[in-house]
Amino acid sequence: MTKIDFKKTLKTLYAPSKKDFSLVDVPSMNFVMIDGAGPPGNQAYVDACEWLYPISYGLKFMSKIDLGRDYVVPPLEGLWWADSMSAYTEDRRDEWLWTLMIMQPEWITSKMFTRSLEKASKKLGTPPETLRFEAFQEGQSAQIMHIGPYSKEGPILARLHDEYMPENRLTWNRKHHEIYLSDPRRAAPEKLKTVLRQPVRSV
């Protein structure tokens, strides 16, 4: 049985250049999602991961056994925003808002999600109110690969917002998006790989 690795089959989405920004048209894809607030790694963030991974692995094994289709569970992704952009520029992390999510193959259905959720709930208890399975589409987006600590993303995002976007007559269109290709528990901070993505539109 062939095991699909979406990081390889969807290289335009998961393997951008680390030197230059590029534009990509992100199609509609299905995700398991949970909303939360506060800094990365707080209890809400940890709790969200403790739901997203069991459900996603449950769906993977369900797909392998029931459908004969195996795949590598895609990486964790996050949408980040705040009611005021100064919450980011002044590093007021308690005001940050986020959606953590893991992409699901197109053949995964809402019925399969419900089955996996029911199984996870037997171990984890009552699921978060915002836990859901839904389609998400970003469309045209600018992105780049960041290699290094999450704390060093600032200068790259400043280049994106202050140089690349104005030079290409682009403006924001939806929330800042990060894709975490490395496990911070296993990789050294200077080797972490993160796709930084910003949906954009022409002005």
Q: What is the pTM of this model?
A: 0.94
Q: How many CB atoms lie within 10 A of CB 104?
A: 26
CA distance 49 to 37: 13
Going by pLDDT thresholds of 50, 70 and 90, the confidence category of residue 88 is low
Choice among 15-19, 151-155, 199-203 with the minimum mean pLDDT: 151-155
For residue 101, give both structure tokens.
């999510």
Strand 3-4 with 70-71, pairing: parallel
Q: Are 120 and 56 in contact (CB under 8 A)?
A: no
pLDDT of residue 132: 98
Q: Crossing angle, helix 110-124 and helix 43-62, to 10 degrees?
A: 130
pLDDT at position 154 over 90: no
CA distance 27 to 132: 19
